[in-house]
Structure 1
């Protein structure tokens, strides 16, 4: 299975390289804060891919951190409720013992 993944990744890289080499026409890049003339389309595509990967990584990281925080909160709440349940179970048993002893007199 690992060999298949490596082969698929290699084929994907070859396809991407072929696509980028076919699209090397110069274009003008005009952003709000940056202007550049005669930039190859492949460089623009790689830049957009890189920025997209960074944004995706950041969003995924925030989602993971939020999930871990929620999990920690729920574990603490579960622990508190378990302790409260055990206290109520023990309190019920102790109350019944004292009531039975006072009823025998």
Structure 2
């Protein structure tokens, strides 16, 4: 949830790979729910890729081409997760600690 005048970094980029932001104080609004859903998918994808990478590293038969493809996918997932972490970090930094104590 954003506070008044606080922008939420969205989990997707705009034209030219520029960040997109949402200004709202409604965590149940359409765009907030859409962003939450996309973040959940991104986190799930990253987790699946992490498991796949662990298996590929344990398998001596994994080809160089397969590893390159996996690294490319992992790079994209990591980029998404960094964006999610930054967004959530900003939300945590701007939230009032007294509110979470109740």
TM, length-normalised to structure 2: 0.37
Greater percentage in helix:
1
TM, length-normalised to structure 1: 0.36
Structure with greater contact order relative to length (CA < 8 Å, sep ≥ 6): 2
